[in-house]
């Protein structure tokens, strides 16, 4: 008996990314809805996983995100499938929230799989914000994220609530765990999810306090040097200082220099999250500081050696586009042409672009994500040129 190919259900590395790209193209009249059907049949050729491991980037939630994108023009496509998946996703989320509550009561640390964008509750908050914002489950996951932003007492020290007991990567060990700052797995993702929901008018008690607390966290661990403002990708126990004001960055000389300007971990993602928070808080100084940090990070553009969304130029391009649309001035928009030169133009000969040589058709690191970002470059930077708001799954809009 053959093993089902579950990668088909993955937005991270599977063919769902191609399906999302095809939906965007269909809305633009660049391909047919029959092509969309063909892609979705390939995705659903195996049973869709809506179990405890399903998340925004895998299984039923990922498919629901793509199916919802087909309705961007107001045509109610795939109604039965969307309704069924929505019910199952809400049920799975309730069980996952119960598990997180039990973990909290036990006093254990969280893990990426519980709360982050790719696998956890930040991803669920993102999905429900665009598909089922008025549900009890959306309010419940916003409440969870708001509480996660509060410091937790561990013995005689205070640690950020999203502290994890594991390392950020097997190759980068952090004995005793670490606190993550990035959009994909850390504080920036939590902050963006809360701020975007509030910007859309969806708030629960404590949410605004959590947004303020997270901006204060970034203020306490931010760095300023001749490259501009930046933040460590993560901090270990030895790099945390404890005080009455809460945990912050200790004064140390062993911090790495600014990370590459990526969406997932670098200054661009963090700066976008702070910009979104500033808009919600109506804090003009914070917004200008965030936009300035993002602009300064673009000096490091040559350090990006990949094209993809996660840690390449496509992700940087989309982050800057969304930030530029909300910015006080046009300084960010002025940088878009330089970043765009690393992306294929719509209609280019595939053999003439670097991206087409990527041996990866996935959304996060490969071809479909780069193509979606390239399509964004065909309209006015200040406009909402993405018919499907596909970059909502990146916490950019």
> Domain spans of the chain?
4-394
Query: Please, which pLDDT band fits residue 244 given cuts at 50, 70 and 90?
Result: low
Running DSSP on this structure, what letter comes out for residue 351?
G
What does the alpha-carbon distance between residue 384 and residue 370 come to, in Å, rounded to a whole number?
18
Average pLDDT value for the chain:
89
Q: Residue 3, Cβ neighbours under 10 Å: how many?
A: 6
Query: Please, which pLDDT band fits residue 387 given cuts at 50, 70 and 90?
Result: confident
Better-scored residue on pLDDT, 290 or 240: 290
When mean pLDDT is compared across 101-115, 286-300, 360-374, the lowest value belongs to 360-374
Query: Please, which pLDDT band fits residue 341 given cuts at 50, 70 and 90?
Result: confident
The confidence score (pLDDT) of residue 253 equals: 57
When mean pLDDT is compared across 86-100, 234-248, 320-334, the lowest value belongs to 234-248
Burial status of residue 329 (CB atoms within 10 A of its CB: 0-12, 13-18, 19 or more): exposed
Quick one: the chain helix, strand, coil %, rounded to 5? 50, 5, 40
What does the alpha-carbon distance between residue 6 and residue 57 come to, in Å, rounded to a whole number?
12
Q: Which secondary-structure segment (H or E) carries 87?
A: helix 79-106
The confidence score (pLDDT) of residue 320 equals: 97
The confidence score (pLDDT) of residue 88 equals: 98
pLDDT at residue 7 tops 90:
no
The confidence score (pLDDT) of residue 246 equals: 64
Place of tokens 């640690």: 159
Report the half-sphere exposure of 243 (CA within 13 A, side-chain side). Answer: 8
Share of the chain above pLDDT 90, in %: 75
pTM for the model stands at 0.93
The confidence score (pLDDT) of residue 358 equals: 46
Query: Please, which pLDDT band fits residue 251 given cuts at 50, 70 and 90?
Result: low
- Write out the DSSP string of 294-343: HHHHGGGGGG----STTTSHHHHHHHHHHHHHH-SSSTTGGGHHHHHTTS
pLDDT at residue 344 tops 80:
no
The binding site comprises: 264, 310-311
* Dihedral sign (CA 159, 163, 168, 172): positive
What does the alpha-carbon distance between residue 100 and residue 94 come to, in Å, rounded to a whole number?
10
What does the alpha-carbon distance between residue 342 and residue 354 come to, in Å, rounded to a whole number?
8
Contact 77, 52 (CB under 8 A): no
What integer is the mean pLDDT of 296-318?
Answer: 94
Q: Could you report the per-residue pLDDT of 162-220, keeping only the tens digit for each?
A: 999 999 988 888 988 999 999 999 999 999 999 999 999 999 999 999 999 999 999 99
The binding site for Zn(2+) comprises: 264, 310-311
Query: Please, which pLDDT band fits residue 1 given cuts at 50, 70 and 90?
Result: very low
What CA–CA distances, in Å, run from 56 to 50, 65, 127, 326, 375?
11, 8, 7, 26, 23
What does the alpha-carbon distance between residue 319 and residue 294 come to, in Å, rounded to a whole number?
9
Burial status of residue 35 (CB atoms within 10 A of its CB: 0-12, 13-18, 19 or more): middle
The confidence score (pLDDT) of residue 357 equals: 41
Q: Could you report the per-residue pLDDT of 355-386, keeping only the tens digit for each?
A: 334 457 789 999 999 999 999 876 554 445 66
pLDDT at residue 274 tops 70:
yes
Share of the chain above pLDDT 70, in %: 88
What integer is the mean pLDDT of 296-305?
Answer: 93
pLDDT at residue 266 tops 90:
yes
Which CATH class, in words, describes the domain spanning 4-394?
Answer: mainly alpha
φ/ψ of residue 217, rounded to 5:
-60, -50
Q: Could you report the per-residue pLDDT of 40-76, keeping only the tens digit for each?
A: 999 998 899 999 999 999 999 999 999 999 999 999 9
> Rounded to 10 degrees, what is the CA torsion of 72, 32, 377, 21?
70
Q: Which residues of 246-272 are buried (b: 16+ CB within 10 A; e: fewer)?
A: bbbbeeeeebeebbbbbbbbbbbbbbb
Query: Please, which pLDDT band fits residue 349 given cuts at 50, 70 and 90?
Result: very low
């Amino acid at each position: 008996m053959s093993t089902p190919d579950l990668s088909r259900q993955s937005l991270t590395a599977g063919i769902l990314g191609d399906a999302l790209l095809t939906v965007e193209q269909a809305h633009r009249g660049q391909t047919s809805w029959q092509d969309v059907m063909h892609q979705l049949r390939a995705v659903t050729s195996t049973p869709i996983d809506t179990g405890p491991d399903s998340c925004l980037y895998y299984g039923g939630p990922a498919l629901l995100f793509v199916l919802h994108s087909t309705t961007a023009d107001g045509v109610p496509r795939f109604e039965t499938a969307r309704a069924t998946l929505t019910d199952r996703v809400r049920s799975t989320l309730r069980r996952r929230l119960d598990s997180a509550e039990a973990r909290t009561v036990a006093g254990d640390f969280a893990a990426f799989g519980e709360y982050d964008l790719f696998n956890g509750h930040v991803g669920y908050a993102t999905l429900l914000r665009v598909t089922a914002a008025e549900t009890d489950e959306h309010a419940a996951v916003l409440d969870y994220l708001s509480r996660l932003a509060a410091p937790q007492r561990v013995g005689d020290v205070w640690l950020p609530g999203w502290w994890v007991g594991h390392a950020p990567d097997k190759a980068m060990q952090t004995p005793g765990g670490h606190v993550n700052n990035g959009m994909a797995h850390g504080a920036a993702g939590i902050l963006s999810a809360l701020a975007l929901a509030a910007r859309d008018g969806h708030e629960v008690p404590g949410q605004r306090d959590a947004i303020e607390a997270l901006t204060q966290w970034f203020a306490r661990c931010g760095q300023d040097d001749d490259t501009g403002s930046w933040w460590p990708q993560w901090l270990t126990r030895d790099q945390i200082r404890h005080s009455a004001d809460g945990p912050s960055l200790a004064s140390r000389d062993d911090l790495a220099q600014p990370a590459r300007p990526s969406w997932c971990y670098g200054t661009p993602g963090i700066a976008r999250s702070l910009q979104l928070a500033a808009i919600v808080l109506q804090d003009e100084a914070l917004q200008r500081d965030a936009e300035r940090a993002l602009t300064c990070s673009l000096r490091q553009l040559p350090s990006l050696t990949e094209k993809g969304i996660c840690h390449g130029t496509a992700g940087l391009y989309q982050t800057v586009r969304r930030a530029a649309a909300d910015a006080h001035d046009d300084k960010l928009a002025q940088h878009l042409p330089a970043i765009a030169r690393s992306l294929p133009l719509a209609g280019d000969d595939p053999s003439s672009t670097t991206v087409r040589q990527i041996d990866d058709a996935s959304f996060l690191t490969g071809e479909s994500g780069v193509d979606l970002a390239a399509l964004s470059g065909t309209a006015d930077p200040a406009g909402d040129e993405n018919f499907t708001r596909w970059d909502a799954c990146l916490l950019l809009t």
